[in-house]
């Protein structure tokens, strides 16, 4: 969509190219200024409204304080009356009522007093003149009265009482320097008090009593509208500790409202005052101002557009004349010079066209000659270059070798994708690090790298090295690195280019072939050695048996002959074990169920298990998957291992055998008690003990380990407490 607009904008005339942007920016600028002006004006008005509400809130609080001070002053004057002091000290309730009843009626009529209340120690209501029938209860909950009775000093506050929330002043009654009690004067905190404030100051006042932690009910209000803005709507997150101001709250755009807490003598919030100001006049004035600013802005845009229209016409007219002349020049229809104009940019353009006419005259013949041959030569050369670049890039990107170019300061200018993928580093890390090549590829410090750079600066043939490079994952790669330097005209090294051939697999194959050849040669030597020893041992054993048989049982020489026979038997066992281990074999891979093989081996060893009173505990997982392996060799290896464990473990012990499967392996665990097994026996677990006893000597024990390793498995023998644990791990599939 944006590209279509650009294309359409390009084909319109220059006049509209000048007018459209100006009209757009003038409209945007004027509109922005109007919006900013209105927004600023509204913010200023809102700030003034907030200040006005805060002022009303201070006036309200000051009015409450003034009323409380007035109540305290009246209470103090009345409390100093000697007759009242004497009657209260004597606890003459009826006399005190008769004396103060006329006084209370006068205060009620002249000053609006609603409570006249006497209290005595230790905090008991003595006489309510305004309600004589309700007296005598404890009033310890009235903090202000208790403080007066304790300190003997008067207090004033907004406080709850039996008659509700009121503005109260409490003065001590002292007779002969002895506290006789206290006197309380109270004003009602209701609609009449709020109406006087509204009549004098203008805004509506509403007071809400606090009935619970977050519950307020209306006590009095000067508002006549049925729609009320409740305290819960005017407060943020139920916060009553400080006042909240709302200018045009939701559903009440024509009011500005302050909701502030009212505190009692102890400083606790006991009520909430709402001060509401009607802002209809402000909204009306803002609407008029907005209309005026919009009209002025539209008139300004129209006038500006008209003036720019005139200027564009005057500006474009000479340009059109020059364009027409230029078109004639381009078509070869005009060779005369243009008339000189003013010294502004248009005049400079005319003089430039005249200069172009002179140049065209001089070079026309040359251009025509070049035009006949230039296009063909450029096309041929371009085709060759494009083809060469494509071939080179395709070759470099797809070659299984690393190609690079390094600048003289160590910065990598180019590196092909093969080398990036092989090393595994991010291209940004390689290209942005000037020391990457010398640290990660060469593996040298700054001093050694300087030596290589000196070789490149002096030797045009560069260098050829075999390098070991660690990739990002820490894997080892072997490369054959061939680098060639390039110099500038002054003989300074500009960069060097090179290729790196990955010969890791070749090196691994060489090492593997070397190890295989060594193992094969060692096997042949061992087999040859074992065969060569077998004949002499057989001869020695035979002569030792004949010598033993020829001697009497009591002769010492017969005992020596028997020792020779036993040692020859041990050597023959060793030879059998060696021949069993080095005998070459090939795996015949089939699908094998290890649980079935283990169960078969246990069945074969059932006699030994019973004879040694071994308690066999098996936990062969039924969910074990089958593996790929040579069933005969695995059976032989497991038979050998189980037989060795049963023979060498103590009698009457428990043999635990279990199987379990992991993601790609099957685990076989064999555990039994091994109190007499030394730690050095663990490292030589698969080396059989050649005692000369054919029953306890297991010749194929080393072969069992070799079979497991040939299946790409592993065997671990560890000690856990007094138990020896044999763990055999076999893969589900053999690696290719």
pLDDT for 691 equals 47
- Tell me: pLDDT of 389 over 60: no
Q: Which two tokens stand for residue 535?
A: 């004949």
Pairing mode, strands 654-661 and 615-620: parallel
Residues 253 and 199 reside in one and the same domain: yes
In-domain check, residue 199: yes
pLDDT for 683 equals 58
Compute the distance between CA of residue 624 and CA of residue 730 in angstroms, rounded to an integer.
Answer: 12
In-domain check, residue 259: yes
Last residue of one domain, picked from the residues 278, 296, 318: 278
List the one residue out of 230, 193, 190 whose CA is nearest residue 214.
230
Per-residue three-class SS string for 108-131: HHHHCCCEEEEEECCCEEEEECCC
Cα 635 from chain centroid (whole Å): 53
Compute the distance between CA of residue 465 and CA of residue 668 in angstroms, rounded to an integer.
Answer: 48
pLDDT for 696 equals 42
Give the residue numbers spanning the domain of 273: 192-278
Last residue of one domain, picked from the residues 502, 518, 537: 502
- Tell me: pLDDT of 373 over 70: yes
Q: Which two tokens stand for residue 505?
A: 């697999």
Compute the distance between CA of residue 258 and CA of residue 253 in angstroms, rounded to an integer.
Answer: 14
In-domain check, residue 356: no
In-domain check, residue 223: yes
CA distances from 670 to 9, 339, 608, 659, 728 (A): 85, 111, 17, 9, 9
Compute the distance between CA of residue 264 and CA of residue 676 in angstroms, rounded to an integer.
Answer: 88
What pLDDT digit, counting tens, does each position of 102-152 carry?
Answer: 988 998 888 888 889 899 888 888 988 888 888 888 887 788 888 888 888
Residues 594 and 708 reside in one and the same domain: yes
Residues 515 and 541 reside in one and the same domain: yes
Compute the distance between CA of residue 110 and CA of residue 120 in angstroms, rounded to an integer.
Answer: 28
Cβ neighbours of residue 568 closer than 8 Å, sequence gap 6 or more? 537, 540, 541, 544
pLDDT for 543 equals 67
Q: Which of 213-222, 264-273, 381-390 has the lowest mean pLDDT?
A: 381-390
Compute the distance between CA of residue 600 and CA of residue 637 in angstroms, rounded to an integer.
Answer: 13
Domain harbouring 475, CATH code: 3.30.450.20
Residues 566 and 612 reside in one and the same domain: no
Cα 182 from chain centroid (whole Å): 67
Structure-token match 């304790």, residue found: 150
Q: What is the dihedral of CA 5, 9, 10, 14, to 10 degrees?
A: -170
Residues 526 and 410 reside in one and the same domain: no
What pLDDT digit, counting tens, does each position of 569-619 carry?
Answer: 666 666 665 655 556 667 778 888 888 888 888 888 888 888 888 888 888
Structure-token match 């080179």, residue found: 392
List the one residue out of 131, 125, 118 whose CA is nearest residue 88.
118
CA distances from 92 to 84, 146, 536 (A): 10, 22, 142
What pLDDT digit, counting tens, does each position of 471-488 carry?
Answer: 878 788 888 887 888 888
Question: Considering its fold, how many domains does the chain have in total?
Answer: 4
H or E element: which one contains 438?
none
The residue that leads in pLDDT, 693 or 415, is: 415
Compute the distance between CA of residue 228 and CA of residue 569 in angstroms, rounded to an integer.
Answer: 113
Residues 608 and 643 reside in one and the same domain: yes
- 595 near 624, Cβ under 8 Å? yes
**Rg over CA atoms, the chain:** 56
List the one residue out of 228, 219, 204 whose CA is nearest residue 158.
219
- Tell me: pLDDT of 186 over 70: yes
In-domain check, residue 484: yes
Pairing mode, strands 476-487 and 463-470: antiparallel
In-domain check, residue 96: no
Residues 443 and 460 reside in one and the same domain: yes
- Tell me: pLDDT of 465 over 70: yes
Compute the distance between CA of residue 261 and CA of residue 125 in angstroms, rounded to an integer.
Answer: 29
pLDDT for 607 equals 83
| DSSP characters over 228-272 | ---HHHHSSTT--SS-EEEES-TT-TTEEEEEEEEE-TTS-EEEE
Residues 612 and 706 reside in one and the same domain: yes
Cis peptide before 122 (omega within 30 of 0): yes
Residue 546 sits at φ, ψ, to 5 deg, of -65, -40
Residues 519 and 495 reside in one and the same domain: no
- 190 near 209, Cβ under 8 Å? no
- Check residue 305 and give left, alpha or beta (phi > 0: left; psi -120 to 50: alpha): alpha
User: Residues of the chain with pLDDT > 70: what percent?
Assistant: 72
The residues with which 166 forms a beta bridge, in sequence order, are 159, 188
DSSP letter at 205 equals: E
Residue 519 sits at φ, ψ, to 5 deg, of -65, -40
Q: Which of 246-250, 446-450, 457-461 has the lowest mean pLDDT?
A: 446-450
- Tell me: pLDDT of 66 over 60: yes
- Tell me: pLDDT of 334 over 60: no
Domain harbouring 622, CATH code: 3.30.565.10
What pLDDT digit, counting tens, does each position of 516-550 carry?
Answer: 555 555 555 555 555 666 667 667 667 667 766 76
What pLDDT digit, counting tens, does each position of 610-666 carry?
Answer: 888 888 888 888 877 888 888 888 888 888 888 888 887 888 888 888 888 877 788
pLDDT for 496 equals 79
Residues 594 and 570 reside in one and the same domain: no
- 148 near 76, Cβ under 8 Å? no
Residues 488 and 517 reside in one and the same domain: no
pLDDT band per the 50, 70, 90 thresholds, residue 267: confident
H or E element: which one contains 146?
helix 143-151
Compute the distance between CA of residue 277 and CA of residue 254 in angstroms, rounded to an integer.
Answer: 9
CA distances from 653 to 185, 638, 670, 671 (A): 99, 20, 13, 11
In-domain check, residue 488: yes
pLDDT band per the 50, 70, 90 thresholds, residue 671: confident
What pLDDT digit, counting tens, does each position of 281-311 carry?
Answer: 887 887 888 888 888 888 887 887 777 777 7
In-domain check, residue 374: no
Burial of 711 by CB count in 10 Å (0-12 exposed, 13-18 middle, 19+ buried)? buried
Last residue of one domain, picked from the residues 578, 600, 615: 578
Structure-token match 């700030």, residue found: 47
Residues 412 and 498 reside in one and the same domain: yes
The residues with which 176 forms a beta bridge, in sequence order, are none
Compute the distance between CA of residue 175 and CA of residue 84 in angstroms, rounded to an integer.
Answer: 9
Angle between helices 14-79 and 93-111 (to 10 degrees): 150
Helix residue ranges per DSSP H, 552-651: 556-582, 594-604, 606-611, 631-648
Per-residue three-class SS string for 629-650: ECHHHHHHHHHHHHHHHHHHCC
Domain harbouring 234, CATH code: 3.30.450.40
Compute the distance between CA of residue 500 and CA of residue 642 in angstroms, rounded to an integer.
Answer: 53
- Tell me: pLDDT of 172 over 90: yes
Compute the distance between CA of residue 702 and CA of residue 576 in angstroms, rounded to an integer.
Answer: 11
Burial of 680 by CB count in 10 Å (0-12 exposed, 13-18 middle, 19+ buried)? exposed
H or E element: which one contains 43?
helix 14-79
pLDDT band per the 50, 70, 90 thresholds, residue 237: very low
């Amino acid at each position: 969509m944006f590209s279509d607009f650009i294309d359409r904008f390009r084909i319109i005339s220059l006049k509209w190219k000048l007018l459209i942007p100006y009209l757009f920016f003038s409209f945007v600028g004027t509109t922005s200024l109007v919006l900013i002006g209105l927004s600023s004006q509204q913010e200023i008005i809102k700030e003034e409204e907030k200040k006005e509400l805060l002022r009303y809130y201070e006036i309200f609080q000051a009015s409450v304080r003034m009323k409380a001070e007035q109540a305290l002053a009246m209470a103090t004057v009345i409390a100093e009356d000697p007759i009242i002091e004497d009657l209260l000290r004597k606890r003459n309730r009826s006399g005190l009522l008769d004396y103060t009843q006329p006084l209370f009626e006068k205060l009620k009529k002249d000053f609006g007093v609603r409570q006249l209340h006497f209290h005595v120690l230790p905090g008991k209501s003595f006489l309510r003149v305004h309600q004589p029938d309700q007296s005598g209860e404890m009033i310890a909950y009235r903090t202000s009265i208790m403080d007066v009775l304790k300190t003997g000093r008067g207090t004033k506050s907004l406080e709850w009482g039996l008659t509700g929330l009121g503005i109260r002043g409490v003065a001590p009654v002292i007779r002969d320097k002895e506290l006789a009690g206290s006197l309380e004067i109270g004003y009602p905190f209701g609609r009449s008090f709020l109406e006087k404030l509204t009549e004098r100051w203008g805004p509506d006042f509403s007071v809400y009593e606090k009935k619970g932690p977050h519950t307020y009910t209306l006590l009095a209000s000067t508002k006549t509208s049925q729609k009320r803005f409740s305290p819960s709507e005017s407060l943020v997150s139920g916060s009553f500790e400080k006042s909240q101001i709302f200018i045009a709250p939701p559903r009440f755009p024509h009011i500005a409202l302050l909701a502030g807490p009212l505190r009692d003598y102890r400083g606790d919030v006991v009520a909430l005052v709402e001060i509401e100001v009607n802002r209809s006049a402000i909204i009306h004035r803002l609407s008029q101002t907005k209309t005026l600013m919009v009209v002025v802005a539209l008139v300004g845009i129209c006038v500006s557009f008209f003036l720019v229209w005139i200027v564009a016409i005057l500006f474009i007219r000479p340009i059109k004349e020059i364009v027409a002349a230029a078109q004639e020049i381009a078509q070869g229809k005009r060779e005369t010079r243009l008339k000189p104009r003013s010294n502004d940019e248009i005049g400079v353009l005319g003089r430039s066209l005249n200069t172009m006419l002179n140049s065209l005259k001089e070079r026309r013949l040359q251009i025509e000659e070049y035009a006949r041959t230039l296009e063909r030569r450029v096309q041929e050369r371009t085709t060759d270059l494009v083809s060469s670049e494509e071939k080179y890039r395709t070759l470099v990107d797809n070659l299984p070798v690393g190609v690079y170019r390094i600048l003289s300061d160590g910065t990598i200018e180019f590196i092909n994708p093969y080398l990036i993928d092989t090393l595994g580093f991010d291209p940004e890390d390689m290209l942005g690090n000037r020391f990457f090549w010398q640290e990660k590829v060469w593996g040298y410090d700054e001093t050694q790298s300087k030596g290589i750079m000196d070789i490149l600066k002096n030797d045009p043939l560069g260098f050829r090295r075999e390098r070991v490079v660690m990739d990002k994952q820490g894997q080892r790669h072997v490369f054959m690195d061939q680098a060639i330097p390039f110099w500038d005209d002054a003989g300074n090294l500009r960069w060097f280019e090179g290729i790196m051939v990955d010969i890791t697999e070749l090196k691994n194959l060489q090492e593997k072939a070397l190890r295989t050849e060594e193992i094969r040669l060692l096997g042949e030597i061992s087999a040859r050695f074992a065969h060569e020893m077998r004949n002499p041992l057989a001869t020695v054993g035979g002569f030792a048996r004949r010598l033993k048989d020829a001697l009497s049982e009591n002769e010492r020489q017969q005992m020596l002959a028997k020792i020779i026979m036993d040692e020859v038997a041990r050597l023959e066992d060793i030879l059998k074990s060696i021949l069993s281990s080095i005998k070459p074999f090939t795996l015949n891979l089939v699908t094998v169920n290890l649980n079935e093989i283990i169960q078969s081996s246990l069945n074969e060893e059932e006699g030994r298990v019973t004879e040694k009173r071994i308690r066999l505990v098996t936990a062969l997982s039924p969910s074990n998957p089958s593996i790929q392996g040579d069933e005969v060799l695995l059976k032989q290896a497991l038979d050998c291992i189980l037989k060795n464990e049963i023979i060498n473990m103590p009698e009457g012990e428990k043999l635990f055998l279990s199987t379990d499967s992991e993601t790609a392996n099957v685990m076989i665990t064999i555990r039994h008690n091994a109190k007499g097994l030394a730690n050095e026996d663990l490292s030589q677990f698969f080396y059989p003990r050649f005692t000369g006893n054919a029953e306890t000597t297991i010749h194929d024990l080393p072969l069992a380990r070799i079979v497991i390793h040939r299946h790409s498995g592993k065997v671990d023998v560890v000690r856990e407490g007094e138990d020896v644990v044999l763990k055999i791990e076999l893969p589900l599939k053999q690696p290719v």
